[in-house]
Chain A
Amino acid sequence: MATKASRSAARLMMAPAVILLLGWMLVPLTMTLWFSFRKFLPMRGGDLGWAGFDNYARFVTSSSFWPAVYTTLLIVGGVLVITVMLGVLLALLLDQPIWGQGVVRILVIAPFFVMPTVSALVWKNMFMDPVNGLFAHLFKFFGAEPVVWLTDAALPSIIMIVSWQWLPFATLILLTAIQSLDSEQLEAAEMDGAPSLKRFWFIILPHLSRAITVVILIQTIFLLSIFAEIFVTTQGAFDTRTLTYLIFQRITDAQNIGLGSAGGIYAIILANIVAIFLMRIVGKNLDA
């Protein structure tokens, strides 16, 4: 796009897409902002006028707020630890020359293509059902009492389901990072007297550090907003109510749109802080 004419023509042609995207984002954002300052109770009188910062104050002082934050952190942290650790191991494994490499790699990526609702339902009914689930059968086979997963171990169960969904993503990013490692570096380390465990610790892991950061940040943004997995399994019961789920309950169960919107704005701010870090790191990667 060298000339002035071609530049303005390009702008003109990009305009519809940009306007559509902006509208798509700005309209709901503005509405959320607007409602967050209103006392809006649809079943109890509708829009009852200006509320100032009442909704913001009420949202954070509610007794469910801190437990929800805690649950959110547990889920995000738990899934991150599991996906990064297993992701590194799987990536190392998939990097080895094996027969049927292409098929295996596609199979590993497959869970990522399953919709969250579907995968949660599959886990809930096929694996974790205390009577008919595979886990229950497995436990019974060994003579143990089946675990009622989504009641007795609700949070770990959800962490397990979400980890299963996000493991492919982590594996994929980490695998490409491992493949970009110069094999001469590993050979040099081998000659320098580093056995395979030390080669992993001193060469491979530092090489992966950036990829791991990117995985952590991208996953954090998406994990902060997981919803379907909770909705179809515990519905927020048994200490599985995350911040996102709390916002949902404020709006649908409590029918308080103002309060829910204020929570939504908190979530937006939180996600944006992570996003800023992400963009800086990804940007640095592209520069280097």
Chain B
Amino acid sequence: MTKKLDSVDVIIVGLGAGGGPAAKVLSEAGYSVVGFDKGPWLRNSEHYSGDELKFQNRSYLWPDVDLMPRTVRTDENSESRIFNFSPVPSAVGGGTIHMAGWTPRPRPCDFIMHSLHGDIEGASLVDWPYRYEHLEPYLTKVEWSYGVSGLDGAEVGAGFRSKRYPSGPLGPTKFGEKFYEGCRNLGINAHPLPMSHLTERNELGRKAVNRTSFWNQYGDPTETRSSVATTYIPDALATGNFEVRADSFVKEVTVDRNGKATGVIYIAPDGSEHEQKAQVVILALGAIESSRLMLMSKSPRFPDGISNDSGLVGRNATFHEYLFAVGLFDREVSPALNGFTGNYQSGGSMHFYETDYDRGHIGGGIIATTQIGQPINPILPGKPIWGDAAKDADRDYFLHSMKIGMILQDLPQESNRVDLDPIVKDRWGMPVARITNKPHKNDTAMSKWQINKNVEILEAAGAVRTMPVYLGEEFTGNSCHQHGTVRMGTDSTKSVLNEWAQSHSVPNLFVLDGSGFSTALGVNPTLTIMAHSWRAAEYIANTHLKGRSERLALDPVSLSN
């Protein structure tokens, strides 16, 4: 028996990078907001510490592989298998709990990939329905409230900024110094990447980032990695207008006869079912779970899932892929590089981000030198798994190796998609997300080219042996980034959301995570997701919930120099 509750102004489903800013903006604007998360509300100073086994191997933060599985397959004709694809912490704070915290900005070119490159065979390139200049004020707001550090003036070719960074960056690790040396030798513009932490003398009056180096994929007990759980959620709670319902699984978005969203049905911690009504429903579960929830929300008006008139919900999924090259140094001659240190990244570059047709592919991605890891899981491709060779690999290379990674910008393809698995169910009895996904030839070409370039940088830094890891036959979801499944666009037959991330067919439904990304970007999505959500939330607060609607007028793209 579903229990019905009093209506609120806004429901937000998912309290990660997309949900956090929306909760803050709407609560601060005076609206009543209820935020749902299927995960628990963990407490940084109580639940997180430098326990490699717990966080890296026993996946304390991630969805339980048996309770909340996913399935993957390469195309419509292949068998799907259960796999934990693109795992994001299941807890209030979402991806912002475990992320390494790279928060680089997108570039102006990211928003006009179709205007720049035209139709690419096999891909579904489109322009975004807004531009860098529309997002820029929000990128700045996020940097100055969430807390992002960077080095002003270091990135050649960056888009314009209305404000500098509120904090300078961390100093380099020893392997970071090597990376910079390699880049200098090759004429590459490299610099510390913008990161979601602050250092001493930051302008926000906050604590400087911890240097335990238990960082990527760990929760942070010191709360010095910026996370929505320690910034925007508390901001929202402070207004008195916001309520968190954790451990609550939303199974359906409900609609009335006319196709207007009326609220959600959710399963409370005790297993009972409830219906919460609202004027506006915001989905921010992440691109996989948001599209899954929409597909599960069937009704007579929307037999294929809420807002799915175009048939595109779940399609055009992009996942990035984290690829890398490892460099081995001779411990007889090289000083220790201390690959276990750092707040994951210690130097990166956008030098190869913008298209150069001579490379043989369009687009590009950010690169960075990143930690080798802690003792249980240091990265060494082809590592021996037993015997003296295994022990020697650790003794020889744990301190004398480094890696340079890349975020692969994958092209959207309509056949890459999220849908509902016909057989496998989760702990609540609901069909799990099935990810159908295989690389485009541009993805494969970009991977080859960029990883070979990373190899060159390692050699220029003095690596004696290099070990490239190229994109294989399938994506692995190892970056945990996910976007594109509920794409934005101006044409409602070719997209699901408009320029405000508002559903074309359900005006009071908004999807404020990476689902709306019309193309993948070649940078980590979190900063863009937060800015995108903030901007849309302001539209909801100041325009939509005031009974008005506005269209964004887009000037034609000007490509002159």
A and B from one complex: no
